[in-house]
Structure 1
């Protein structure tokens, strides 16, 4: 299986798709970057506003 970019006809094999997508994240438009961030943190993450909020503690 592969993915083909319809305007350039570039082909990316399925086994290379994750790395290709990861390498091209910086080329996203700002609205798409925000959508990606919201998707990425949509699992077990909660959004907080205050740095001192208990929910914002870093786990190292």
Structure 2
């Protein structure tokens, strides 16, 4: 049930380990957006947005 509730809250409610850099967390969160139109790689530049991410 706890996992289910976390899924409902979305990716922004996840606490990532400190061993993952800020840029890494940002990349993961942008790739896991609920709305596909908001996901990194879905916009006009597509895969180039992912490649150029910090």
* Fold similarity call, TM over 0.5: no
Higher helix share: 2
How does the TM-score come out when normalised to structure 1?
0.30
Higher strand share: 1
Higher relative contact order (CA 8 A, sep 6+): 2
If you compute each CA radius of gyration, which structure gives the higher value, 1 or 2?
1
